[in-house]
Amino acid sequence: MSMMPSWRSAQGRQTWEDAMAVKTGFWAQAKNDPTRIALIDAAGQSMRFGELDERGNRLSNGLRSLGLQYRDGIAMLMHNDPAWIEIFLATHQAGLYLTPINYHLTGPEVAYIIENCEAKAFIAHERHAAAAIRAVEALNYDRSRCFAVGNIPGFRSYDAFLAEQPVTPPAERQAGTLMLYTSGTTGRPKGVRRPLMPGNPDVVASMAGMLGALF
């Protein structure tokens, strides 16, 4: 009888040995089958695993070029968009915290979360431009660290920023995680910065059942 720990995942019962082999999960798929379709957006446009991996790598390297280090964090104001996944992948292999902000919030509410989570960069979609602009204006936030998916006045282009970065995986990959906030129905939204799980993000992701469940 095996004494190794096991847990439930999207693939069924998974053992420690399975996780260590990294048989599932996004990065394994991107390496082994880069032309496989990874996602299809609302407009019907598809992205392949290899393409999604490259864009995640570019963003990881870009965030590092801004000076972000292990355990730093970024915030994003984004609806259900492929960039959401790119940002998730980038932070989760660069040892960063990612705080997704509810896009129904007002500018001042967005500003509070950006400041409270100590975001070292802010990425917003043009659909939420009004709240994004109000938030960074309220904080006098460094515009060189503000990026727009689409076009937001005063923000840097997210796509142009990615295009400037190396496509190779970031050096010294470390697992990151999400820093989520409550809805704030009984006061200010509250976020908890949980300790990062040390180690290779491929293994950590498989252990957590996160990326394997997504893809």
**pTM for this entry:** 0.83
CATH number attached to the domain at 24-210: 3.40.50.980
How far from chain centre, in Å, is Cα 158? 14
How much of the chain, in percent, has pLDDT values that exceed 70? 83
Structural domain boundaries of the chain? 24-210
Whole-number Å distance between alpha carbons of 6 and 105: 39
Closest by CA position to 190, among listed 106, 124, 120, 99: 99
> How far does CA 183 lie from the centroid of its chain?
20
Distances (CA, A) of 119 to 11, 30, 96, 97: 34, 29, 10, 9
Q: Is residue 37 very low, low, confident or very high in pLDDT (cuts 50, 70, 90)?
A: very high
pLDDT category at 42 given cuts 50, 70, 90 is confident
Q: What amino acid is encoded at 141 in this protein? A: Y
Rg over alpha carbons for the chain, rounded to the nearest Å, is: 18
Q: 86 or 29, which is more confident?
A: 86
> pLDDT tens for residues 120-161?
999 999 999 999 999 999 999 999 999 999 999 999 999 999
